[in-house]
Amino acid sequence: MQTTTLDRPTQSSGDLLTAKIEELCEALLKQPEVQSIRQRVDAFNADSAAQKQYETLSERGEYLQHKQQQGSQLTDAEIAEFETHREQFFANPVAKGFVDAQQQMHEMQQTVTKYVSKTLELGRVPAPEDMESGSCGSGCGCH
């Protein structure tokens, strides 16, 4: 077995990359924001009433969207019913916390993707001014 100057086994570049990604994942999990997100998602997953509200709201939204895509007009009653379900859903703190947590998680994922994309584009770790440009490069999927 080969060892490096640090007396660690030599790793292939794929193994090293995987190890670094795992380090990043561990660091993310330790962030208070991520812990808060997990708590809110877990609270939602434990609340069958909030899940039912979410399911009902999603189904009604999909139905109305499908109806519109088919060229049909939505009735005032359908819109009012959807708005009632929406208001009830967002009045539930567990449900609202879940939606907020999903949004935060999405933003975090976008940030990680943007940094990795910018790193690959530049061939170096991006500086803060590189991240302010509003573009994370071609092929990143955010445009």
Split at pLDDT 50, 70, 90, the class of 10 is low
Q: Domains plus CATH for the chain?
A: 14-125 (1.20.1500.10)
Band of pLDDT at residue 132, cut at 50, 70 and 90: confident
Write phi, then psi, for 3 (nearest 5 degrees).
-130, 155
Whole-number pLDDT of residue 141 = 53
Of 64, 82, 86, 81, give the one whose Cα is nearest residue 73: 64
Bridge partners for 9 per DSSP: 3
pLDDT, tens digit, for every residue of 58-106? 999 999 999 999 999 999 999 999 999 999 999 999 999 999 999 999 9
